[in-house]
Amino acid sequence: MKVKPADRTSGVQEYYFSQKLRQIDQMRKAGADVINLGIGSPDQPPSENTLKKLGEVALKPTGHGYQSYNGIPALRKAFADWYKKYFNVILDPENEILPLMGSKEGIMHISMAFVNPGDEVLIPDPGYPTYSSVTTLIGGKTKYYDLEEKSGWMPDLSKITDAGTGNVKVMWINYPHMPTGTKGNTRLFEKLVAFASDNGILLCNDNPYSFILNNEYLSILAVDGAKETALELNSLSKSHNMAGWRIGMVAGHSENISNVLKVKSNMDSGMLRAIQEAAVEALSNPPSWYEKVNSVYLKRRRIVEEIMNLLKCRFDEKQTGLFLWGRIPDDIQSCEAFVEDILVKANVFVTPGFIFGSNGRRFIRISLCADEQTLLKSKDRITEYLKNN
């Protein structure tokens, strides 16, 4: 007898990249040398002091037990010091910071803590697909707001107001933005905080890309009054080359953090102490470490720009982050078919923009998380592909 899955699962699909990785694996098993330029998984290592600390603490026999649900004090203090140094934001490490097992976990925890079934959640289009899938899983109602190229991928708050905000509980924003690479600015954040405050909305900024090809570090919490109406997620995944370590945080008003902790404490038992102490080391990296990492990304970015130009895709050179976002030529009818053709005939996978929302359907995204040799090989393959098609 088959057990029927919960109704909530009918509203979500398997994550696109999960499906695509399975296809790529099958192609490789069949002998194809597929290059994956789709996913932003940093391939550079964490700093040496981070790795050293991980090993030191892991060797201690007392370091493998259950840990505190809200992280060790040293990690909360390290996050607070990091925010003060780079974002000019003062956070109380005792009650305004909650370490997480990655910021993706935080999206679920925040949603469960604040969104009741039937509550509306404002989600950017294009935007990170997890915002909508989590909202659906917990019974909230997705309410998309447009981000468009013609408006610089910034929200039009007047349109959102006209569409009605009476049932909106949470609004997700993400600057620097993924997938478009658009940077936020202080004026935008001020408008968003005022909008959220006026409408009784919890504003959530997902902020993992600030340190990639960018030195203008901005936090929504730097805006006056933001703590009263905003939470901010951050992560060491991209900024410190620690994606698989699963270390993130959420920061904001102590009452909001307390409500998130109510959910989190019922879902996990804390991170391994060695990982937490290594994260403290990572957060103390000097500015020169970030500069070294970005010098590598910058060289790769130039090659990816050449690939975009080969494909006749238009892009904004001011983009930041781990990807390059480009508009496909007007004569290409289907972005999905275009990407699939490149995968099958050139054995190079790039991400179609439609997976991020309807406003991404004429765009592709290429990751910078491959070394220069691999990117040059991709460029050669695409050059050959274009000659034969």
- Pair (227, 201) in one structural domain: yes
What value does the mean pLDDT of the chain take? 96
Q: Considering its fold, how many domains does the chain have in total? A: 2
Please tell me whether the peptide bond between 126 and the residue prior to it is cis, using omega within 30 degrees of 0.
yes
Q: Tell which residue, 106, 60, 82, has the closest CA to residue 282.
A: 82
CA dihedral 307, 313, 319, 325 (to 10 degrees): -90
Structure tokens given for 12: 């979500």
In this prediction, residue 11 carries a pLDDT of 79
In this prediction, residue 7 carries a pLDDT of 86
Q: Which domain holds residue 295?
A: 7-45+288-387
- Average pLDDT rounded to a whole number, residues 260-276: 95
- Pair (125, 270) in one structural domain: yes
Residue 261 has pLDDT above 70, yes or no: yes
**Is residue 220 situated within a structural domain?**
yes
**Amino acid of residue 126:** P
pLDDT in tens, 98-129: 999 988 999 999 999 999 999 999 999 999 99
Alpha carbons 238 and 207: distance in angstroms, whole number: 10
Name the percent of the chain lying above pLDDT 90: 92
Alpha carbons 176 and 184: distance in angstroms, whole number: 6
- Pair (106, 240) in one structural domain: yes
Residue 358 has pLDDT above 80, yes or no: yes
Name the percent of the chain lying above pLDDT 70: 100
- Pair (162, 266) in one structural domain: yes
Return the minimum-mean-pLDDT range out of 37-41, 254-258, 364-368.
37-41
In sequence order, what are the residues at sequence separation of 6 or more whose Cβ sits closer than 8 angstroms to the Cβ of residue 295? none
- Pair (248, 328) in one structural domain: no
- Pair (103, 246) in one structural domain: yes
> DSSP strand E in 147-276: where?
168-173, 202-206, 230-235, 248-252
Is 354 within 8 Å of 361 (Cβ atoms)? yes
- Pair (325, 263) in one structural domain: no
Question: What crossing angle do the helices spanning 73-87 and 273-283 adopt, rounded to 10°?
Answer: 20
In this prediction, residue 216 carries a pLDDT of 94
- Pair (245, 189) in one structural domain: yes
Return the minimum-mean-pLDDT range out of 9-23, 289-303, 332-346, 370-384.
9-23
H helix runs in 30-90, sequence order:
48-58, 73-87
- Pair (150, 252) in one structural domain: yes
Its pTM stands at 0.95
In this prediction, residue 109 carries a pLDDT of 97
